[in-house]
Amino acid sequence: MDSTEEQRHQFKMVEDNGEIIVEGEIIGRSVIPYYDDLKCKAIIALLNSIDQDNFVKAEKWELFEEYFKEIEETLTEIKKFNKFQGNVIQ
């Protein structure tokens, strides 16, 4: 896949009860099937937009630590496998 056209990937994270936690759309150019390169770029962009100080000011530092622990654990698990190990939610 080598596309010069913009690609779109929609995503969402849903609670067990069906409540949407977060959803969004990534738009950009991709050269990898299923837009995995585009997803990585979006993750990097979002991580670069996080300001630790906002968690401190909101007195929610434990939330910052919880999220980043989950991010680190997720990255560790992803690197263990060659294939997608979750369920695609559309």
CA distance 43 to 26: 10
Residue 46, pLDDT score? 96
Q: Where are the alpha helices (DSSP H) in 1-90?
A: 36-48, 52-57, 61-80
Instruction: Answer yes or no: do 3 and 44 share one domain.
Output: yes
Residue 89, pLDDT score? 44
Query: Is 19 part of any domain?
Result: yes
Residue 35 sits in which domain range? 1-49
Instruction: Answer yes or no: do 42 and 76 share one domain.
Output: no
Query: Is 88 part of any domain?
Result: no
Instruction: Answer yes or no: do 60 and 44 share one domain.
Output: no
pLDDT in tens, 9-41: 999 999 999 999 999 999 999 999 889 999 999
Instruction: Answer yes or no: do 5 and 38 share one domain.
Output: yes
Number of domains in the chain: 2
The DSSP code for 54 is H
Query: Is 28 part of any domain?
Result: yes
